[in-house]
A and B are shown apart, each in its own frame.
Chain A
Amino acid sequence: MSSIAPQPVTRHPEPIIKVVDLKKSFSEREVLKGVSFEVFAGETLGIIGPSGCGKSTILRLLCGLLQPDGGQIIKTSDNIGLVFQSSALLNSLTVRQNLALPLRLQHLSRKEQERRIQEGLKLVGLAEYIDSYPSQLSGGQQKRTSFARAIVGNPKIILYDEPTTGLDPVMSTIIEDYMIQLEAQLHAASIVVTHQYSTWTRTADRVVMLHAGKVVWEGKPPEAEGSNNPYIRQFAHATREGPMLSNSV
């Protein structure tokens, strides 16, 4: 697996993101019961786990959309790109205007801004949709636009919530390749949340697995399949036999 991308594992002493004992409840229901991890520059952390275990919640906490009930989040940058699970494009704006939003703070010249937008769209294969509105795009095209919007501002932290869900296999691979390329190019700290096996095995340098509000496994993707840990075993092999019941979450 690691042969796919040249991954610079030049670890800086200080992590870009440091999460310590993170806790979050929604009206009595404790979703996160003390989660800790670190992400360094130039590294991608995969977060996996059953549906509803709080993966999106972690990303929302990281970008300040939610406040934690306990624990600490330390980040060294506020320039965050987030690919929303739901795309979250602004419906009243065209694709071009959506991509211009993260560039507002950077005070670029009109020409440079346009160049960056075109480049971002070309990357996800949507150059000819630049003047379309989100409602005129398919779900997968919206997802790709959302991806382009998240990275067009050269963020220091990139958070991907299901970046490849709903895409065809070829486009998934293209997006994964691009995530790998970006990791080296931007030297950003990335977190990818995904259910898609190929996505976390290909793009993540390390993976944490969540279950019932706790980290139950942490390791490198190639270690997942052969691991003795019952949770990651069940998850990697997609079987019914194991500690996770399909109806327990």
Chain B
Amino acid sequence: MQLPANNHRLNPISFLESWFASGVQIFGHTIILLFATTKLILTGKIDWREVSRQSYMIGVKSFAVVGITALFTGFAMSLQIARELVLFGADTSIGGVVSLALIREIGPITAGVTLAGRVGSAIAAELTTMNITEQIDALEVMRIDPVEFLVVPRYLAGLFMMPVLSIYAMSIGLIAGINIAHSAANLPMATFLDSVKQTILDRDFTVHFIKAFINATIVIMFSCSIGLSTRGGAEDVGIATTRAIVWTMTMIFVFNYIVTALTYAPR
């Protein structure tokens, strides 16, 4: 498949048309790729050494960035929450509210978006470069399935590492919350953690992991499908990278809300 070039004239209708067409194409290609990848995984076509190498690249190397992002998001959010709750004299529930926000929304989103920026863009750039320099063609001539060889290990690595990173982001956010509660609201750590324990349910963990798996699927599948379907010259690497970041980030926010709406909407 080849994506249409964005060489439309400054005509709003044709702009919308080509924008919509390439959107449908990317989405469709990604769904097909997801099915192909799942089928290969279910039939055991897995190179575990490559999976562990990718887990290192995708996961381990992301810990610093995810940690910093989660820490400062945690600081800012806890500060706001602590401030309002103290006004209402509800400082003992700071822990509960902060941890709810973290486990249900902020943890998965922070890890997902950070990975989209760090890993999604890198995968799209790498695969596009491989496409342009005929490396993917070379695989096909050697009768090696590029999906099995390139996508399966990255997807499995994403599925393993994303939940770990999400839980990690949540924990770092919690540490930030404990700090803020202590310094801004003078709340002891024990009170904070008590409130956390009373508020968080098993279901919150389930939803947390569902979101992590969905985010992994979005980041890896969109960036792989965009990378594998972009051809042309060197400038297309940049285009593919941008495209991958835009698509993965947008989809993470959209699907995050869909899961939230399906699981937490008041009935």
Contacts and interface: CB of A to CB of B under 8 A. Distances in A.
Interface of A: 60, 63-65, 78, 80-82, 84, 86, 88-92, 101-102, 104-105, 153
Nearest to A86: B134
Contacts of B137: 60, 65, 84, 88
A121 B141 CA distance: 20
Interface of B: 126, 129-130, 133-135, 137-144
B143 A88 contact: no
Majority secondary structure of chain B interface residues (helix, strand, loop or mixed)? helix
A88 B144 contact: no
A78 B143 contact: yes
Given A65-B137, A102-B142, 11 more contacts: A65-B140, A78-B143, A82-B138, A84-B134, A84-B138, A86-B133, A89-B135, A91-B130, A92-B126, A101-B142, A104-B144
A90 B141 contact: no
A64 B134 CA distance: 14
Given A89-B135, A91-B135, A65 B141 contact: yes
B140 A88 contact: no
A105 B140 CA distance: 12
A41 B224 CA distance: 40
Most buried by A among B130, B134, B135, B141: B141
B130 A90 contact: yes
A229 B126 CA distance: 48
30 contacts: A60-B137, A63-B140, A63-B141, A64-B140, A65-B137, A65-B140, A78-B143, A80-B141, A82-B138, A82-B141, A84-B137, A84-B138, A86-B133, A86-B134, A88-B134, A88-B137, A90-B130, A90-B138, A90-B139, A91-B130, A91-B133, A91-B135, A101-B142, A101-B144, A102-B142, A104-B142, A104-B144, A105-B142, A105-B143, A153-B142
Nearest to A81: B141
Contacts of A104: 142, 144
A84 B140 CA distance: 13
A104 B135 CA distance: 16
Contacts of B129: 91
Contacts of A89: 135, 138
